[in-house]
Amino acid sequence: MTSVFTVTEQHQAQLYALLTANGHDVLEHTPGFLGSTLTRSDDGRHVVHHARWRDDGALAAMLASPAARASIAASRLLAEVQVFRSHDVQAFEAS
């Protein structure tokens, strides 16, 4: 799942900190979570979170949890978000 958050420059750091805390406090302890990346843009207006899940059931269980729901609500106070379901992720590393 990929989430693209659009924020004002003054809220980017706050949103990034919120999503980082959510990663440590919620995602890392959720069954079926495989990993994620969190990136903030240089223009101060975007944060992108790409999360990998074992299956759709694991993702649905996380989204239904009270901790996740609270984090989602808090992030929506700071930013507009577009969520995309994604599959077939390729990772590339320098050789």
Q: Furthest-apart CA pair in the chain: how many Å?
A: 42
pTM of the model: 0.88
pLDDT tens per residue across span 19-30: 999 999 999 999
Per-residue pLDDT tens for 45-72? 999 999 999 999 999 999 999 999 999 9
How much is the pLDDT for 40?
Answer: 96
| Helix residue ranges per DSSP H, the chain | 9-25, 56-64, 66-78
